[in-house]
Amino acid sequence: MKIPIDRQLSEPVYLQIRNGISHLIQAGGLKPGDRLPSIREMARATEVNKLTVIEAYSVLEADGLIHARQGAGYFINQTVMTPPRPTTFAPDQHVIIPEADGLDFQAVAAATLKADSEPDIIQFSSGFPQAIGVEDLQRIARRAIKTVADRLFVHNHPQGDPILREQISQLLVQLGLSATPDQILVTNGSMQALSLVTQHLVQPGDWVVVESPAFHGYLSLLNQVGARVIGIPMTAEGMNLELLEQYLQSHRPKLIYTISTLQNPTGITTSLAHRRRLVELAEQYDCWVIEDNAYEWLSFDATPPPIKALDTRDRVVYAGTFSKTLMPALRLGYAVITGDLYTAIVERKLLHDFHVSIVSQAIVREYLSTGHYRRRLNSLREINQQNRSAMLNALERHFPAEASWTVPKGGLFLWVQVPAAIDLEAVRQAALAQNVLVSPGAAFFPDRHGYPALRLSFAQSAEDIERGIAILGQLMTQFHRFSQSA
Ligand SMILES: Cc1ncc(COP(=O)(O)O)c(C=O)c1O
């Protein structure tokens, strides 16, 4: 078997091998039960070392495409030949300009919080990272507090701890984003960064462009600031750029809000070309951009540099967070802001809350300085990939044939389009009665309606995923029949 390897590509060699084999499986060149070349044979054929092949095979295993048999080698799984359902989006999608935001974000958050306190709930609704053991946490927190003991009884820098900002600056280089510590603002979660920047840039009545569907928390923020919203449909490649240009021309919006990597809720990552065009359009139509890449560090594959890295005119603000990689309760996010906007936003932050808790900052500093963070990211990606495969597998088996879903290459969510004949609200309520919580897709559309869909978090154990998806699938069949006969 010959897998072409191109060492000039930025894509690591093990991923090239994984992708080559995965394509062969999808194209039918490798069939269920076929044996893959041994690690030694593959290493020889592709002229790489054996460790690289082992890495490629373990990713394929985590993808649910192959399995190892003790002493016999690696084999193609039986289930992968079900043709993957296409990543489709409702064909009748249109631009959404809502009259008013009818959804109470508080109510959604309260329902999730209530469900979180139920002991046996299967939580497909929110996506949080796996817990860290209490002993590890205590050790890190003890060391962290020691490093800032003399600063606990005074106020600290509103921009954030200088060492932490230096560390974030170094971290961002790995994404291809170069930002000096003076361009980084540490915030109370990335939500605060979104909030401070939007409140500063957007006046009541201003037009703001969002992806449709989009992160529901940001839609509520726009409602709060009195913005008028234009929802540009998402395609499998990201926001529809032709429609974006039309609306930039006709409505002259102040701001575009986008998630370029692992979009919430669809899980889509845009290409470099898409990012380039978006920033060109923003410059051409004199528009700000907020790039909110909360899930960026959870990508399984290498991703293109953020839009902020392509921004030469200080038009783009980048927001990131440790909520999805360490823990949300630290409330630690950050923004990259260049040009004059930086000082204006720091002043706003000062008026809001002076600065982020120095204890939270010290804990993150400790993670970043010890290599714990790198290990944590590796382990999260591995677990998430296994859980995503478990969910894809379960969806194939339990969901109606007319349903389709995205196959995100990371993050915590996938987006399922559901046939219109299913009464989704009835499914949601009946699922909750059986301790399965899901986010209705409607919450992610600017008009809080959109097309019938669900956002499912795969940050669950494989057993819970199997059980929860089976319950949802069974309810969909039940409420499908009902809505057809009604
Ligand atoms: C896309 C996106 N942005 C921002 C946030 C806010 O994260 P935090 O304020 O915890 O950093 C979330 C949380 O769910 C999110 O999904």
What's the pLDDT tens digit per position in 183-222?
Answer: 999 999 999 999 999 999 999 999 999 999 999 999 999 9
Res 58: pLDDT: 80
- Catalogue all structural domains in the chain, each as residue range(s) with its CATH number: 13-81 (1.10.10.10), 105-131+375-485 (3.90.1150.10), 134-373 (3.40.640.10)
Distance 268 CA to ligand 1 centre (A): 16
Q: Of 62 and 457, which is predicted with more confidence?
A: 457
Is residue 9's pLDDT more than 90?
Answer: no
Distance 182 CA to ligand 1 centre (A): 23
Cis peptide before 213 (omega within 30 of 0): yes
Find the radius of gyration of the CA atoms of the chain: 23
Distance 215 CA to ligand 1 centre (A): 8
- 264 Cβ below 6 A of ligand 1: yes
Q: Which atom of ligand 1 is nearest to the CA of 328?
A: 10
Res 103: pLDDT: 58
CA nearest ligand 1 atom 8, residue: 189
Res 91: pLDDT: 58
Query: With b meaning 16 or more CB within 10 Å and e meaning fewer, what string describes 292-307?
Result: bbbbbbbbbeebbbbb
Res 357: pLDDT: 97
Between the alpha carbon of residue 260 and those of residues 182, 266, 334, 357, 378, the distances in Å are: 24, 11, 17, 29, 21
Could you tell me which residues come within 8 angstroms of residue 24 by beta carbon, excluding any fewer than 6 positions away? 1, 30
Is residue 108's pLDDT more than 70?
Answer: no
Distance 189 CA to ligand 1 centre (A): 7
- 191 Cβ below 6 A of ligand 1: yes
Is residue 254's pLDDT more than 50?
Answer: yes
Which among 257, 264, 293, 334 is the best mutation to test ligand 1's pocket, defined by most ligand atoms within 8 Å of the CB?
Answer: 264
- 190 Cβ below 6 A of ligand 1: yes
pLDDT (mean) for 71-84: 69
- 214 Cβ below 6 A of ligand 1: no
Q: Which atom of ligand 1 is nearest to the CA of 192?
A: 9
- How many CB atoms within 10 Å of residue 101? 18
- 215 Cβ below 6 A of ligand 1: yes
Distance 19 CA to ligand 1 centre (A): 30
Q: Of 298 and 59, which is predicted with more confidence?
A: 298
Q: Which atom of ligand 1 is nearest to the CA of 331?
A: 10
Res 208: pLDDT: 98
Could you tell me which residues come within 8 angstroms of residue 107 by beta carbon, excluding any fewer than 6 positions away? none
pLDDT (mean) for 102-106: 59
Q: Which of 473, 411, 457 is nearest to 123 (CA)?
A: 457
Which among 123, 215, 326 is the best mutation to test ligand 1's pocket, defined by most ligand atoms within 8 Å of the CB?
Answer: 215
Distance 424 CA to ligand 1 centre (A): 25
Distance 455 CA to ligand 1 centre (A): 15
Maximum C-alpha span of the chain: 70
Is residue 88's pLDDT more than 80?
Answer: no
Mean pLDDT of the chain, nearest integer: 90
Are 424 and 454 in contact by the 8 Å Cβ rule? The answer is yes
